[in-house]
Structure formats: structure tokens, C-alpha cells
Amino acid sequence: MPGATIAADELRVGLLLTLLALSGVVVSEVAKDATLRRALLVGGTHMGILSGLVATTSLPGFRYSEPFQGGEQFILLQAHGWMILGAAGCLSLILMGSIEDVGVGVAGVGFASAIIFGDGVLFASLYYFQPGRRRRRLQSDGAKFLGDQTSILRKLPALLLALVAFVLLCTCESIRLSSREFGPTLLLAGCFAMVLSAVYTHIMLGGQMPGWRVFQPFRGGTEFVVLQAEGWMLLATVLNFGLVAGREQTP
């Protein structure tokens, strides 16, 4: 059920930006100059992100400073739409350095699909925005547990493992061209540390909270479910690409 009146002018601007974004990534397929291809691919993808931003900010009562407002349906659709566009935006920046190796169809099909589905989901979410549904002050058992000063030592292993994974992945990126021997090893080690951090957080930290279950789909409230879903999907995506890249680059 629609919950808010959408500003028609901003929505038209958003749709126009989406069409321009699609045109940019599709034209990048046939462009001969590498610099032009980079500009069209990155510019088109980020124009798709701008389109979603313009449309979302057209909602009366929307505030950046109040996440998880607008009702459950709006939150879920917004989370998935931004995840799709965010992944496409990051990947376009990564491919800037090797645009010559991008195969035919990657931009026209892959990035165009991300823009269509990402912006489409964001546009659909606008019709479910409910200005009166504000996020209540967080007083959950999890917030009380994590805010307890005595829990700092419990959180430290997960934070250290995440930091180790970050350092290993950054180091791998910096030496991958100069050292094909150690690059894949660092990449796989970073993925392993990342998995350990997530598992420790989920089982060890979560297991100390009242009512926690290792397997508890759609339990814990809307905000918890959304953050868990996005976190595990992003972790799985990075892990999948990391393992594939590490295996292919291993001598």
C-alpha cells in the first residue's frame, strides 16, 4: 500500500538519469578508445546510483540521519536496491585499470542489468514509504550486551581478525602484479581470516545473548534481519570472488 506521495519532478529526473546511465554502459560496449570506455562505464554506473539517490530523496519526510525509517517493506527494498548498485559501482572502479580485458557483454548485460534491477527496486520502494513509521530508540538485548564495557574483550578477537583480513587483502592487491607467488597466498589467507571473524561473531558473540540461535531465519526484528542478510550476502560475494581469484592465480 502506498504510504507517501512521491514528488513527480524528482521521479522523472531519476528515470531520466537511469536511461542516461543505461545508454552510457551500453555505448561503452562499442567504444574503441579505452579512455572513453572507462568514462562511459564508470560514469554510467554512477549515474544509475545518482538516479536512485534523487528518487529516494524526493520522499516527503525522508531523512539521511534516520536509517530504518519508512516501514518494513520500504527498508527491505531499499537495502537490496542499494546493495546491487553499490556492488556495481565498486566493480566499475575496479575494472577501470583493466578495461581492455573486459569481455563483450559484461558492460551491456552485467552493468545494465544491475542498473535496471537496482534502480527498479529503489523506485518500487518509494511506494511503500510510510513517513510516520520512525525507528524507535534501540533498547534490544543485543545493544545492551554490546554496549557493556565487560564485552570489549569478547569483541576483540573478531575485530582483530577483521583487521588482519583487511591488511592481507590490501597487501595482496599491492603486490599481486609484482609477486605471483605470494599474492594468491595472501588473498586466500585474507579470505580465511574474514571467515573466522564472521564465524566468531555469529557463534561466540551471538551465543552469549539471550534467545540467540545459530540458525534463526527471520527472527530478531526487521532491522536485525536486514543487516544480517546484507552482511552475509556481501561476505559470501567477497569470499566467492576471492577463492576463485586465488585459485586461478596460484602457480
Residue at 51 is within a domain: yes
Q: What is the pLDDT of residues 221-230, one digit of tens each?
A: 777 887 788 7
- Kindly state the percentage of the chain with pLDDT values over 90: 7
Q: What sign results for the dihedral spanned by CA atoms 42, 45, 48, 54?
A: negative
Print the SS3 string covering 203-223.
HHHHHHCCCCCCCCCCCCCHH
Same domain, 121 and 14: yes
- pLDDT tens, position by position, 141-175: 555 655 554 466 777 888 899 999 989 888 887 77
Evaluate if residue 76 carries a pLDDT over 60: yes
pLDDT at position 241 over 60 = yes
> Do 154 and 116 have their domain in common?
no
- pLDDT band at residue 179 under the 50/70/90 scheme: low
Rounded-to-integer distance, Cα 154 and Cα 152, Å:
5
pLDDT of residue 1: 43
The span from the CA of 57 to the CA of 10, in Å, is 8
Residue 32 confidence (pLDDT): 78
- Overall number of domains in the chain: 2
Q: Is residue 60 part of a domain?
A: yes
Residue range of the domain that includes 155: 141-249
Instruction: Give the model's confidence band at 2: pLDDT under 50 very low, under 70 low, under 90 confident, else very high.
Output: very low
**Shared domain check, 148 and 90:** no
Which tens digit of pLDDT belongs to each residue from 78-128? 888 998 898 888 888 877 766 665 555 666 778 888 899 999 989 988 888
Q: Is the four-CA dihedral 236, 237, 243, 246 of positive or negative sign?
A: negative
**87, 103, 126 - which closes a domain:** 126
Asked whether residue 132 is assigned to any structural domain, the reply reads no
Per-residue pLDDT at 143:
57
Q: Is the domain of 245 the same as that of 159?
A: yes
* Residue 203 and residue 169 share a domain: yes
* Residues 97 and 160 placed together within one structural domain of the fold: no
135 inside domain: no
Query: Is residue 133 assigned to a domain?
Result: no
**Three-class DSSP category at 148:** coil
The reply to whether 113 falls in a domain is yes
Q: Which residue has the cell 546484507?
A: 230
Q: How confident is the model at residue 196 (pLDDT cuts 50, 70, 90)?
A: very high
Does one domain contain both 240 and 176? Answer: yes
